[in-house]
Each structure stands twice: as C-alpha cells, then as structure tokens.
Structure 1
Amino acid sequence: MSRIDIEVGSKIRQIRQSRRMTQDELATAIHKSRATLSKYESGDISIDLNTLYDLSDAFGIHPEQLLYLRTIEISTAQPELQPAFFKGLTRFYGYCYDGRNGKLNRSVFDVFSQTDVGQYRIALYMNYSEFDHYQQAENIYWGTMQHFDSMTLITLKHQNNPMERASLQVLASFLDADTRWGLWNGVSSRPLMPVALKLLLSKRPLPENATLLHELKLSKEDIRRMKYYNMFSVV
C-alpha cells in the first residue's frame, strides 16, 4: 500500500460522498465490483489508467483532479519566465472576504501539467470548510494559468455551470514573497451580478484571525484609488 494509492483512494471516496453516490452506484458506473471499488478507496490496490478515466467520467471531472499532488515546492530545469511567487509551486491558497455573509472565503489552487512555456492547467476549489476535504468545496473551477512579462493571468470555467467564467490577474514581481494580491473577476449567484474583488494569494495556509479579515476588507486606500481612477484596482 503506497502513499499515492492512499491519497488517490481518499480523493475518490470524498468526491463520491460529495455527490451522494453509494459504492454500488459508482462501482456499476465504472464496471467494477463493490469490493474492488472499496479497495480502490482504501488504497489497497492501485488504479490503472483506464479505470482512472472511467472514474473521472462517472464524476464529470478531469482525470488530473484524482491524482495525488505533492505540495512541496519543486525546482524546474527549464528556463522560462516565471514570477518568484509561483516558481515551483504545485499548490497555493487564496483568501477573500465575503461581505454577503461577513465570512472568510478560502480557496485552494492545484497546479497540474504544463501545457506550454509558462502555461499550466489549474483547478480552483473555492469556499471549502475543512482543508482535509477541500475537494468538497462549494465551487470548483478548471482552467489555465499563464505567466507574462508583467502579469500572471488565470482563466477559469465553473465545473458544473458553464455560465460562470472567472479570471484572476496578478501583477508580476520578481521579489520573492509569501503572499501576493490578485484581482478576481467573476459572477455572484447570490444575488446574480458581475463582481470584482481582491484576493490574497499565499504559498502556505494563513492564520485565520482578525488581522487577516481586516486585510481582506476594502481599505481607505482601495476606495481612494477607486474614486481616483473610477476603476477597482489591486496593486
């Protein structure tokens, strides 16, 4: 039993439960026995590629979302334009303040395969309750992250609602820092309206306290800059 098998099995179980599927229902969908599926979920046996794709089809997700991602920072031998904040990251975190309910909104960004120089496939799990089960987030997006000279651009599509498209722009900085501000543009469903908000990105989970909440709320400087330019901006 390997760490990879255990982690992949745990993801399968969490996603199945979040979709309120029984083991019998999922086993039937992937043409396996319930006993075999149970061993997949416990990590007792490894999953072949054909079964991995069958599982992703049954869940309606991308196969990469079932893979085990190491959360360490890795170095890359390929020279490319990559801002210091994102260099080697396979996962980073996002925080914003939701004024509709006065609560903190947590997000996890998982970085998958590189598709071109400076471009990666990416998944966003937005508004989860517990980090150990972040795949059960309220909203899941899939898209790409691309680095340019002066900016990183993340474009996303909601996994279950194609109307919900979002983007995140992050100004490039070659000074290494654990956090960066980004501007999120998307759609609010409660009420339905286009929105833009500031999103704090971090290489590591941040302490969730009053200091963080204060930082996430609109400041006097945010409002001053918005009035001056007649635009909402994040720097």
Structure 2
Amino acid sequence: MDVNKIIGQNIKKYRTAYNMTLKEMSDKLHKSISTISKYEKGEISLDMTTFLETAKILRISPSALLSGTSVLSNEHSETDHNAEVIYMYTYSGSEKEIVRSLIEQYPPVSPDDPYRVHLYNDVRDFKNPGSCSGFYTGDYSENGFLGTYILHNQISSTEHVMISCVKNLVNSNQQLGLVSGLSNYTMLPVVFKTVLSRSELTDRKHLMDLLTFSREDFRELKQSHCLVVRNVR
C-alpha cells in the first residue's frame, strides 16, 4: 500500500473517531469536500503545510498519520511508524455484552519517554476502529511488571481513564487489569476489569470468566476493603 493511501485511511479513521463529517473537516482545513474525500481515498497527496494542519485539527502527532509505513528521519535512518495494536475487552453489565476496544501504542521517542496511546472504545469491527463510541488519547508507561495507561476522552473533556495492569507470567501476550475513572454516563467513579491481548480473542466463555467478578474477588474485597485482580490465568 502506498503512502497516500495509508495517510488517507488514517485521516478517515481519526475523523470518524471524532464524529466529524467531511463538511466539518473541509471547513476546518479550508479545502473542498471533494478534496478531503480524495485525500482519504489516497487519490491525491497532501503538501507538508496541509499534512501538519490536518494532524493539528485531529489533535494527533503527525507521525500517527504515517502509521503503517516507514520514512527516513533527519539522521537518514529508517524509522518505523507502525503502532503496536492491542485488543481490549471489558464487560458491560447493563448491556450484558462484551465491549471490544482497540489500542494503538506508539513507541517512545527516547527510552525515558512514555508510549503514546490512542484508544478506540467500543468498536464493532477491529478493521474499522474509527467507527467507535469514544476516542481517547494519552500515555502508557512501564515500571517492571507494572503498566499504566492515562487516557483522556477527546469528545468529552470531563472523562479521564486509568488502566492498571500487571504483565502475565503465564501468558505474556495477555494481561488482566482494572479500568478506573469517572463515567461519562453516570458522572460517578467506576472500576471494572479489562483484558488486554496482542491477538484477537474470540472465546466468549473464556472472556466472560476473565471479565466478570468471581466469588474470590468479592471475598477478598470484603476482607481487605480493596479490589484486587490476580493476573495468573
């Protein structure tokens, strides 16, 4: 796939994640709707000024628009712009269904910097993450076996989320953690379980076992007055 198509797909992904129409994007970028559509289809190239302005409008790093390709850095060495894709699962008790989300995790510029993160919450199709119910951006940092995501809702500025997880020594490709934050729906603090996986999970029974609170969870909550997730499965 050529660079124009990759950039175009990324523009469309982020635009739809913001629930932004082609008309709204054209007004912000001062381009015609037809031109924006051609950008998204990869039919025409963006000049550098338009490229940078597009990233600014979408409130993302310019390199995120290049995710899926490789370019030459100022030092003329190849820099990979591919984000690591992580599949995220939670359970909605009110809807009685598993909520599927997608995390794009961009490598840090230097070892001391955090990872840059984009979270597409509640997606129906992992191949089309822009069609989601919520778009979050933020950082991910690691400290030994511990990992922490700090994310901010880009649609509703009042909602912020923290995801705390521990590396799984039994299954290195899968992590079990806790999501906490202020719910945008109830405006109350909430905490729920999450599963993060480097591969798509399709076994509903297995996911339900991981995502729902067990008797052991409630027993420990009663004894210690804190919610603990043991990442051993």
TM-score w.r.t. the length of structure 1 is 0.79
Partner of 2:5: 6
The answer to whether the Cα contact below 8 Å between 1:61 and 1:159 also exists between their aligned partners in 2 is no
For the pair 1:137 / 2:132, whether they are aligned, the reply is yes
Q: 2:202 aligns with which of 199, 203, 207?
A: 207
Taking the aligned partners of 1:96 and 1:47, their CA distance within structure 2 comes to 38
* Structure 2 CA distance for partners of 1:227 and 1:177, relative to 1, 3 Å: same
* Structure 2 CA distance for partners of 1:116 and 1:222, relative to 1, 3 Å: farther
Taking the aligned partners of 2:170 and 2:213, their CA distance within structure 1 comes to 25
**Number of residue equivalences:** 216
Taking the aligned partners of 1:17 and 1:91, their CA distance within structure 2 comes to 19
The answer to whether the Cα contact below 8 Å between 2:22 and 2:36 also exists between their aligned partners in 1 is no
Instruction: Structure 1: give runs of 5+ residues left out of the alignment.
Output: 71-87
Matches within 5 A, 1:1-235: 2-16=1-15, 19-23=19-23, 25-69=24-68, 90-117=84-111, 119-173=114-168, 177-235=172-230
* Structure 2 CA distance for partners of 1:17 and 1:164, relative to 1, 3 Å: closer
Residue type of the partner of 2:98? Answer: L
* Structure 2 CA distance for partners of 1:152 and 1:7, relative to 1, 3 Å: same
Taking the aligned partners of 2:89 and 2:20, their CA distance within structure 1 comes to 28
* Structure 2 CA distance for partners of 1:16 and 1:161, relative to 1, 3 Å: closer
SS for the counterpart of 1:134 is coil
SS for the counterpart of 1:192 is coil
SS for the counterpart of 2:163 is strand
Residue type of the partner of 2:39? Answer: Y
Taking the aligned partners of 2:60 and 2:173, their CA distance within structure 1 comes to 30
Shift of 1:191: 2.2
The answer to whether the Cα contact below 8 Å between 2:159 and 2:184 also exists between their aligned partners in 1 is no
The answer to whether the Cα contact below 8 Å between 2:122 and 2:132 also exists between their aligned partners in 1 is yes
Shift of 1:61: 4.8
Residue type of the partner of 1:204? Answer: S
Taking the aligned partners of 2:63 and 2:91, their CA distance within structure 1 comes to 29
Question: Percent of aligned positions with the same letter in both sequences?
Answer: 25
Shift of 1:15: 4.3
* Structure 2 CA distance for partners of 1:216 and 1:174, relative to 1, 3 Å: closer
TM-score w.r.t. the length of structure 2 is 0.80
